[in-house]
Chain A
């Protein structure tokens, strides 16, 4: 596709459930970022992949959050035992290399009820 694609667009889940959020980056982009955006705030960095490896996961809030990128393309953000405070828009961005412009997807709006 032409841009970064995130699925689903919206996800409503019950407190305590497990969720997976998917990101399809722009083809050929080696760098991939996950951000979380709460209402009225700017995106907050979660994790950065260079290829298949997580080069920087310093933004993950706790061990309930985990992300993978097994083949260096699609990435999945996994959240265990969801809490109401996890409700936010989760954004994915990709860039051709680490030092070039990052392009964002439209985000997945996660609501934990």
Chain B
């Protein structure tokens, strides 16, 4: 049973465009939803995270939108840059403990 489903599997956007990645979860006990960025040969690095008491969180060009009733959350990358090309993972956990990850989205930003 996959508890966190992520889409799309891959995404190509033009420089300056908006990248949108979506995730859905099943376990209503989850209360911490981070997004990670991973470059080849590196471990995942935390980008931004949200708790379900807010519907949106913004940090620079990165925004998480959260819909508790639909059990969905998404990452928006504004003004996408070639340096943003990486694999992005959503995750969910209870109280920021062990995380359940989505299968990742490979983002390519074309110059």
Contacts and interface: CB of A to CB of B under 8 A. Distances in A.
A48 B97 contact: yes
A106 B41 contact: yes
A4 B36 CA distance: 16
Which of B46, B95, B97, B101 lies at the interface centre, i.e. has the most chain A CB atoms within 10 A of its CB?
B97
- Counting contact residues on chain B (CB < 8 A from A), the size range is 20 to 34
A105 B46 contact: no
B56 interface: no
Interface string B40-80: 01111110010000000000000000000000000000000
Interface string B91-111: 100011111111110000000
Question: Interface majority SS on A: helix, strand, loop or mixed?
Answer: loop
A53 to B, nearest CB: 15
A99 B96 contact: yes
Contacts, number: 56
Given A43-B44, A91-B44, A106-B43, A99 B97 contact: yes
Which of A41, A42, A59, A101 lies at the interface centre, i.e. has the most chain B CB atoms within 10 A of its CB?
A42
Contacts of B45: 104
B9 to A, nearest CB: 9
Which of A48, A56, A95, A102 lies at the interface centre, i.e. has the most chain B CB atoms within 10 A of its CB?
A102
A44 B101 contact: yes
A98 B97 contact: yes
A107 interface: yes
Interface of B: 4, 6, 34, 36, 41-46, 49, 89, 91, 95-104
8 contacts: A42-B89, A42-B91, A91-B44, A98-B95, A98-B96, A99-B95, A101-B49, A106-B41
Interface of A: 4, 33, 40-45, 48, 56, 59, 91, 93, 95, 98-107
